[in-house]
Homo-oligomer: A and B are copies of this chain.
Amino acid sequence: MHSISLQTHKRCELIDITSRINEIIAKENFRDGFLMIFVPHTTAAVTINENADPDVCHDILLTLEELIPHIRKGYRHGEGNSDAHVKASLVGSSETILVENGRLCLGTWQGIYFCEFDGPRTRMMNIKTVS
């Protein structure tokens, strides 16, 4: 299992981690099978989405913010980050991606994003390759 860390810089932020995942595949010389990415945090997540136009990340965060604003009447959790917990459960804490001939089987426009919903923080991800 590999653990990689990353520093986030805003409260809500999508960070392209595709190249970091590719580094693990290259380092292991991993050829065929699949790879699991797991986020061990409850106010962050991982998703796959467009890697070309950064405006897509902006629009995803905007929509999540409007649907699940930071403050909601009725929230009880004392830390004031209930929105981040909800976003984490909706986006999800893991991704499983196929690998063939040493390459992630992503579509042309797909990248892998770490989703920060309660930053800035230092975060971790666990990655496991399975052949």
Contacts and interface: CB of A to CB of B under 8 A. Distances in A.
A10 interface: no
Interface string A9-52: 00000000000000000000000001010111110000111100
Given A78-B55, A94-B96, A96-B94, A42 B107 contact: yes
A79 B50 CA distance: 12
B38 A89 contact: no
Interface residues of A, number: 57
Interface majority SS on A: helix, strand, loop or mixed? mixed
Contacts of A106: 40
Nearest to A32: B1
A90 B93 contact: no
